[in-house]
Amino acid sequence: MTNVARTGQTLLVVASSMLFAAVTSAMVVRRGIGGDWVAPELPAWVWATAVLGPLASWLILRGWVRGAVIAGGLLVGLQVLVLAELRMAVIGEAFLSVLVAAHAIHAAAGVAALARWGERAGLFWHFVGALWIYVLFLFGVWA
Amino acid sequence: MAIAILIAALAGATLALFFQPRWWFPEAISAHARAYDAHFLVTLCVIGCIFVFAQGLLAWVIFRYRDRGQAVTGSDGSSALEIAWTSATAVIFLGLALAGQGIWAGVHLEGSDPRALKVEVLAKQFAWSYRYAGADGAFGRVDIKQIDDAGGNSFGIDAKDPRGKDDLTAAVLRVPVGRPVELQLKSRDVIHNFFVRELRLKQDVVPGMTIPLRFTATKVGTYEVPCSELCGLGHHQMRSSLVVMTEDDYAAWLAEAQQKVVLP
Amino acid sequence: MFSTDHKVIGKQYIGLALFSVFLGMLLSLVMRFHLVHPDTKVRLFQMLWPEGAPGGQMTPELYLSLMTMHGTIMVFFVLTTAPQSGFGNYFLPLQIGAHDMAFPVLNMLSFWTTALSLVTLLLAFLVEGGAPLSGWTAYPPLSGLGKITGPGQGLGQDLWILSIAMFCVASLMGAINIIVTVIELRAPGMGYFDMPLTCWGWFVTALISLFAFAVLLPGGVLLLLDRVAGTSFFIPGGLIVNDQVQGRSGGSPLLFQHLFWFFGHPEVYIAILPGMGVISTVLSVFSGKKVFGYKAMAVAMLAIGGLGFVVWGHHMFISGMSPYSSIAFSVLTMAVGVPSAVKTFNWLATLWGGRLRFTAAMHYALGFVSLFITGGITGLVLGQPGLDIYFHDTYFVVAHFHLIMGVAAVFAIWAALHYWFPKMYGRFLNERLGKIHFFLTFVGVYAVFVPLHFAGFVGNPRRYPDFKEYEFLKSVTGLHMGVTHAAYFLAAVQLIFLFNYFWSQRRGAVAPGNPWGATTREWTDD
């Protein structure tokens, strides 16, 4: 990977982290003052999707990018299924929808980048995988 | 050359405007407003000095070092100077910030006065209404289903609550002179802003929140209340008044208004 | 058209900003006219806005939507695009010895996303109900409930949010491009502290953009969801709008303000930092001296960029947030004034002992310093929450930010244009016309914006389509009449610039390779 590609992806990671941090802090504030917070419940199978990110990362490191693309694509597909379940009128689920949708866009972009540039786009994908675990953690443990 | 003169002239004209009496603060009608004016004057003197010094220096440097074929002499850096002007401005700026905290604390950090006259203020697109607790000193419960602007119940005072029977609502805010007043600001729709120039008080009125605002007016008179947060197409017409009355006039008004209270 | 050459893209950005600035200025003239002649019927208004000005009589909602569009166009499409994306794209690679930006295709996409964003914004004028009326700050609930809160609050406000969201994406792409270019593509041997201050300006601005737009983007998306998906991020319960009960609950209007101003305050520095870099360069070149305190200048930019992220609360002193946090924000706000003052002192010291050559570019740069002082100094009033109580949302604030963020930044753009025009077009902008334009404009901006402070002293609220309702505003009628006429004058003399800009591209005096005797690489490499 060239320095330019690495620095560019690092900055993309910084910007995306900032975006997710903004939504997270908005959620913390909104949960604290709204008085109408109900923890959203996720179907049990959603937790299993946490492994898809790291799995794809492992496949990239093993040099099997096509496998990583399949695993990443599967993640995006499952995220769309999760989105279909959520109700916007319930504030906790609305926040979850925003985070899942934002992540799905990142994951789709990550998959496209892998398909186009192969393992040179690996750095961004590793971030995407970790970010999904963060989103699940946020709702599973904290919210 | 010409630009040095122009900078000096424009700075001078700017300064001169401060000596015209026409466009200035209105009269101060509370102890807070007078404290505000005093601290504003201090700030104005400080920034006025900085303004004159900086614009004057700029004009002078331009004039002094205009191209007359002279050799370039100045240096291109000095740690001593950097430290000097950084610390000087830091002291002046932070000194101003600290000196001004008194006015802020006076409005927002002092506790509620138990003797204060409590008035609820309701803002909506594009009108203000005020509610007094009446003889029992307690506000009745509200119920948004009972809101009836045409019927005179903008607050939605619940007919079933006995405490609300004597609640008085009005379109103008009347308060007795010299008595502490505590407003409870509420909005029904969007953000509005309650501003009384003569009190040097301004506070956003935010839906979903109840925000207190305290003052003690010391001069009898009628003062305009312009909405000062963009609230929609009638924003500029969302006008109300604060009427500061003598104790006797206020008592007389209250007694008369109280008799007319009829609730749905 | 879809060029990936940084020079072409830089010119495209400048062209877009030029179109936007004249459009924004025309909108402001219509507003100034209406403020002093609120009852005059104008046929042109009826032709342009049949719904908003029936019979030529402008409605309050039309005034407010012109105001919203003026602010949005100027802040985003002029002050954010020209100094950073325009000149940054063109000159950053040249000044650090790079062949192009790090990601040329991304660069091209940034520009066209910005252009699409502008088109989307302008479409709001054409849709039913017209452009939104909630101001460039778009506070909910006014902006969050749809048509029920006003005519432009339907589709117009949706388009506004979409436009801003696109602009965020474009700015993030642009910021990444500039940062990577600075970090990775500096010429061999060029350290960070060997870069010209212009490059520091673009670099720090890109860093600010990276963090700021990444927060505005989700803020806009949440607002859009409140409008179209019935969520309650920012909309509290128990609202009754237009006698209709709104079925929302628990949202917080202040939450939006926090997200918005976390972006909004750094945005001020996004507009001004590249200009500060240009001014340092121009003052230095035409004094025949190096920039005084180069390192202090670079560090001051970093300090402004960093502190700029912890002062957003000074826009919210009267919003109802905790009064204790106001005290913290106030102290930090005064602190961010320090590096700005340091820069001013360094500019004066740069001139000190020099031999000043009064080119047109130098005139604009000196004018910038004067305006920066005049506009900046009132920040010492507004940064104190106690004093802000009275001035918040009055014309005092309008005067303050127009001088420091609007006019000063535009003077820096003019300085940059006159300075770099020979590099961009191989010809000079006409110096004599440039100086005439400078003098008339300089007098004009003082005449427009200094008096507005005094309307603020009277307590004149901003965002009023007319002042007829209030007794106390009768006293400012004459003042506004004067300001409006000064605005006509100011707008008229811009034709001199417009003529000079286009005429000199074809007919200007041919420039040699390094006409100003500068030492930076864009002039010396070839």
State mean pLDDT over A101-125: 96
Mean pLDDT is lowest, of C88-92, C115-119, C147-151, for C147-151
Cβ contacts of C224-227, under 8 Å, gap ≥ 24: C224/C158, C224/C161, C224/C162, C224/C165, C225/A88, C225/A94, C225/A98, C226/C140, C226/C144, C226/C145, C226/C251, C227/C143, C227/C144, C227/C145, C227/C146, C227/C157, C227/C158, C227/C161
**Residue C133 near residue C61 (C-beta atoms within 8 A):** yes
The pLDDT assigned to C294 comes to: 96
CATH number at residue A18: 1.20.120.80
Domains and CATH numbers, chain C: 1-234 (1.20.210.10), 271-512 (1.20.210.10)
Domain limits for position A55? 3-142
- The answer to whether the Cβ–Cβ distance between B202 and C389 falls below 8 Å is yes
Which residues of chain A lie closer than 8 angstroms to C180, CB-CB? 4, 7-8, 11
pLDDT by residue (tens digit) across C35-54?
A: 999 999 999 999 999 999 99
Cis peptide bond N-terminal to C141, omega within 30: yes
CB distance from C259 to chain A under 8 Å? yes
* Touching subunits for chain C (3+ Cβ pairs under 8 A): A, B
Contacts across the B-C interface (CB distance below 8 Å)? 314
- The answer to whether the Cβ–Cβ distance between C250 and A94 falls below 8 Å is no
Give the CA distances from residue C38 to residues C120, C398, C463, in Å, rounded to whole numbers and listed in that order: 30, 20, 14
pLDDT grade, residue A1 (50/70/90)?
Answer: low
CB distance from C225 to chain A under 8 Å? yes
The pLDDT assigned to B264 comes to: 44
Nearest by CB to residue B233, choosing from C61, C333, C346, is C61
- Say yes or no to pLDDT of C436 above 50: yes
- The answer to whether the Cβ–Cβ distance between C465 and B1 falls below 8 Å is no
Q: How many domains does chain A have?
A: 1
pLDDT by residue (tens digit) across C112-125?
A: 999 999 999 999 99
DSSP characters over A1-67: --HHHHHHHHHHHHHHHHHHHHHHHHHHHHHHHHS--------THHHHGGGHHHHHHHHHHTT-HHH
Angle ∠(C150,C154,C155) on CA atoms, nearest 5: 145
Terminal Cα distance for chain C, rounded: 26
The pLDDT assigned to A2 comes to: 84
Residues spanned by CATH 2.60.40.420 within chain B? 117-259
Our measurement of the distance from residue C134's CA atom to the centroid of its chain's CA atoms, rounded to an integer in Å, reads 18
- The answer to whether the Cβ–Cβ distance between A4 and C185 falls below 8 Å is yes
The pLDDT assigned to B90 comes to: 96
Distance in angstroms (rounded) separating the CA atoms of residues A100 and A85: 12
State mean pLDDT over C405-429: 97
CB distance from C452 to chain A under 8 Å? no
| Residue C53: both structure tokens together | 């000005």
CB atoms within 10 A of CB C194: 12
Q: What is the DSSP letter of B153?
A: B
pLDDT by residue (tens digit) across C262-292?
A: 999 999 999 999 999 999 999 999 999 999 9
Nearest by CB to residue C214, choosing from A4, A15, A35, is A15
| Minimal CA separation from B50 to chain C, in Å | 8
CATH number of B117-259: 2.60.40.420
Helix (H) or strand (E) holding C479: helix C477-507
State mean pLDDT over C141-146: 95
**Residue C273 near residue C209 (C-beta atoms within 8 A):** no
C469 forms bridges with which residues in the sheet? Answer: none
pLDDT grade, residue A43 (50/70/90)?
Answer: confident
pLDDT by residue (tens digit) across C222-277?
A: 999 999 999 999 999 999 998 899 989 999 999 999 999 999 999 999 999 999 99
The pLDDT assigned to A143 comes to: 65
State mean pLDDT over C339-355: 96
Average pLDDT over all residues of chain C: 96
pLDDT grade, residue A142 (50/70/90)?
Answer: confident
Q: pLDDT under 70 in chain B at which residues? A: 262-264
